[in-house]
Structure 1
Amino acid sequence: MPVPAPNLFPDFNTIRLSHACLNVKDLAASKTFYCDILGLQVTDESDSHIYLRAMEERGHHCLILQKSDTPGTVEVMGFKTFAEDDLDRAKTFFESKGRPTEWVERPYQGRTLLTSDNMGIPLEFYHKMDRLAPIHQKYELYRGVKPLRIDHFNVFSHDVDASVAFYSEFGFRVTEYTEDDESKKLWAAWMHRKGGVHDMAFTNGTGPRMHHVAFWVPTPLNIIDLLDLMATTGYVDSIERGPGRHGISNAFFLYILDPDGHRIEIYCSDYQTVDPDLEPIKWDLKDPQRQTLWGAAAPRSWFEHGTTFVGVEPIESDMKASPIIAP
């Protein structure tokens, strides 16, 4: 199926991804991982939740850790809209697609719309979030990998074409994609709102499941520092893939797993995509430089492991095409 033409005038205006809520078993262990090792900053915490932000962010949180009896699951993925009335237009849009909608109360957020996409991924949209004082020049707070901001989500989809078509309808634009030569169906696609390579990406597989949440860091050297830190503080087994440079996006990357199995990508140096007529880049699924510009294949776990969304039963993909997998 061809990549959809960009919808430059969608029914409502989403600015960017905003935050995710991850369910965890042990808040203390998760806090150590995300704060002492990665370097996110606590903005509030209780016996049941920890709210975190990265160093450049003024919004109250980009990540919520929620103590749960179902750890290793994802509660919701959040997006910010351009204006308050975009929320009403979003409600109309999702209802027109037969998706459930409800207004929900969220700490530190204004009016928030809870809905789901065509695969059942729980999504929430808001316009206002409590604003905090800037800390990006408080260098005494920097630690770990020095995360600057949340960058993107990647999810497994059992039908990438359907996922791309749905998100295209409300304004997400494809920057890069992989097509299966035999079926001519999409194997993966990268879509954005904020002018980077992606806010949301879809990878073929049993889904929907979260593949990873990514955080932007200043330089590749920060990733090297993180690897040294993890290797000497008991987290060496949490290093899954990398460091390396993607062919897709050109970004320098590292993939790690948190204590509950949620995959986190550390990410920097992709490129700008703000032009509305920017043509998407097509990749061959068997190109060894697609995954890693230097030719290193990803491990099998990278194509199989993901974390489920609460209340959503994944469906196995019927596409049998496969990229190169490391032995």
Structure 2
Amino acid sequence: MPLPTPNLYPAFNIVRLSHVELAVTDLAKSRAFYVDTLGLQVTDETADTIYLRAMEERGHHCIVLKQSDHAEARDLGFKVFSDEDLDKAEHFFKAKDLPVEWVERPYQSRTLRTRDPHGIPLEFYSRMDRLAPIHQKYALYKGVKPLRIDHFNCFSPDVDQSVAFYNELGFRVTEFTEDAETGRLWAAWTHRKGGVHDIAFTNGLGPRLHHVAFWVPTPLNIIDLLDLMATTGYVGNIERGPGRHGISNAFFLYIRDPDGHRIEIYCSDYQTVDPDLEPIKWDLKDPQRQTLWGAPAPRSWFEEGSTFAGTEPRPSALAASPIIAP
């Protein structure tokens, strides 16, 4: 199916992705992973919740960890340009017969909660509490030295439908994988902020959260993290990489937190600000699509993900399969 024409004037203005809430089963173990190993900064902490931000971020949090009896992904958060855009968003989602509610969120202005047509829980806000900058407080840098949250990737049961819907929200496709036999999308990378993606969609049982990615300064920081994880009890949490993606050209590493939530460590993609930038097409069977160096991903990367709260995943509509590592 052809890509939709980019919508440069959407019904409301999304600036970028902002944050995610993850339910975890052992808050102390998760704290050790995200704070002591990855190097995220604690901005608030209670008996059942930890708020974290990365080194360049001025907003209060980019990840919220919530103690729970089972692990799951909760709302994906996006920042909009103004309060007026929140009202426009409410009208947009109501017109689509999608659920809408106004919710209270600590450290955020009024927040609109909804779901996309496949059931991914979303929330939108225009203002988050600002914190003092710490990007030049180098004594705080540790772990992989995470600078900012970069993107979400979600399994979708119908990538064409996902792309069409988020295109209405103003997300523009930068790169995509097409199944040669059917002409349907197998995966697509879409953005608002001018990088390769704010949210991407991969064909599979879904919706589920595939991963959350953090931008780091250099590939050498990823090597440092691998050495740290390999000698502090986390060698089994290393899933894939390091490597360089064909798609996005980014240097990457995929790891799993103590509950299995997948985290990508990511750097070195490219700018996509121009509104008339042509998307790059990849064939599903191209061995350089996954990794420029030709190494395929393991089966777990295509089959495992975090379920979203309140949403039952369903099988994908497209049966095509990529190259999988033996």
- Shorter-normalised TM-score: what interval? over 0.9
Aligned to 2:246: 247
**Cα shift readout 1:73-117 (whole Å, capped 9, x = no counterpart):** 011100000111100000000111110001000000001000000
Aligned to 1:92: 91
Give distance in 2, aligned partners of 1:186 and 1:117. 18
Aligned to 1:175: 174
Greater shift after overlay, 274-283 or 311-320? Answer: 311-320
Gaps of 5+ in 2: none
Gaps of 5+ in 1: none
Give distance in 2, aligned partners of 1:4 and 1:177. 12
Aligned to 2:118: 119
Amino acid at match of 1:65: L
Aligned to 2:310: 311
Deviating 4+ runs (over 6 angstroms): none
Aligned to 2:281: 282
Amino acid at match of 1:23: A
TM-score by length of 2: 1.00
User: In the TM superposition, what are the counterparts of 1:80-159 in structure 2 within 5 Å?
Assistant: 80-159=79-158
Give distance in 2, aligned partners of 1:58 and 1:96. 34
SS in 1 for 2:248: helix
Amino acid at match of 1:267: Y
Give distance in 1, aligned partners of 2:167 and 2:256. 30
Q: 1:70 Cα shift?
A: 2.0
Aligned-residue sequence identity (percent) comes to 76
Give distance in 1, aligned partners of 2:32 and 2:109. 29
Greater shift after overlay, 122-131 or 62-71? Answer: 62-71
SS in 2 for 1:29: helix
Q: 1:283 Cα shift?
A: 0.1
Q: 1:69 Cα shift?
A: 1.6
Aligned to 1:224: 223
**Cα shift readout 1:148-178 (whole Å, capped 9, x = no counterpart):** 0000000000000000000000100000000
Aligned to 1:54: 54
Aligned to 1:67: 67
Give distance in 2, aligned partners of 1:23 and 1:170. 27
**Cα shift readout 1:267-311 (whole Å, capped 9, x = no counterpart):** 000000000000000001000000000000000000000010011
Aligned to 2:45: 45
Q: 1:318 Cα shift?
A: 3.0
Give distance in 1, aligned partners of 2:317 and 2:119. 18
Aligned to 1:2: 2
Aligned to 2:24: 24
Give distance in 2, aligned partners of 1:140 and 1:160. 43
Give distance in 2, aligned partners of 1:242 and 1:148. 20
Q: 1:259 Cα shift?
A: 0.3
Amino acid at match of 1:181: A
SS in 1 for 2:176: strand
Give distance in 2, aligned partners of 1:303 and 1:4. 25
Give distance in 2, aligned partners of 1:232 and 1:158. 38
Give distance in 1, aligned partners of 2:233 and 2:69. 25
Aligned to 1:188: 187
Amino acid at match of 2:231: T
Aligned to 2:12: 12
Aligned to 1:269: 268
Aligned length, in residue pairs:
326
Aligned to 1:198: 197
TM-score by length of 1: 0.99
Aligned to 2:207: 208
Greater shift after overlay, 7-16 or 62-71? Answer: 62-71
